[in-house]
Structures are given as C-alpha cells and as structure tokens.
Amino acid sequence: MFVSQVRDAIRGGVADILHDVPENPTDFRPHVSVAYSASDDPAAPVEEAFAARQFTPAQARVTSAELIVIHRDDEMYEWETFASAPLG
C-alpha cells in the first residue's frame, strides 16, 4: 500500500465524521525531508549539492497513523501525538 492510499483512507474517515475535509486532496506531495533551514543564507549551495546526486525512491513500512497537534510557536515545527491508530 502506498502512503497516498493510507492518506486517502484517513481522509475518507474524516469526511464520514465531519462531512468536510479542510484541505485540497491534490496538494499532498509525499516526501522525505533531509533538512530545514530558518536562516536567510542563499539556498543555491544546498540545491547544487543535491542536484549533483541521484536518489532512488524511498521505501518505508508504515505501522501506524497518528493525529498530531502541530505548531511553530518556537520558530520550528513541533508536534505532539493526539491519537494513534495501528495499521496493518
């Protein structure tokens, strides 16, 4: 099963309960983050370093889906798990 299929199933459950899902389903872009920056330094050196590499698609086993409370109060992403559901 793909991450997008898990997400679609969760969105279906949210829609069953709330009758509305508050985000555009086409905005989802599965990705693996390797870094975040909060500086104003130029991004070009990092972009060039990654452009020179070839990457293979990532694979991961997803064993649970979590509902999180996320914020950026301290100028960085922070979250806590509100609820978790096993998958499998």
Q: In 29-50, which positions are buried (b, 16+ CB within 10 angstroms) versus exposed (e)?
A: eeeeeeeeeeeeeeeeeeeeee
Q: Look at residue 80 in the predicted model and tell me its pLDDT.
A: 96
In this predicted structure, the answer to whether residue 26 has a pLDDT above a threshold of 80 is yes
Residue 51 resides in a domain:
yes
Q: How many domains does the chain have?
A: 1
pTM: 0.58
Residue 22 resides in a domain:
yes
Strand, coil or helix: what is 45?
Answer: helix
Mean pLDDT of the chain: 86
What pLDDT digit, counting tens, does each position of 28-71 carry? 888 777 777 778 899 898 889 889 888 888 788 888 989 899 99
Q: Per-residue confidence at 16, pLDDT binned at 50, 70, 90?
A: very high
Q: Look at residue 82 in the predicted model and tell me its pLDDT.
A: 94
Beta bridge partners of 67: 83
Residue 72 resides in a domain:
yes
Residue 54 resides in a domain:
yes
**Residue % of the chain over a pLDDT of 70:** 99
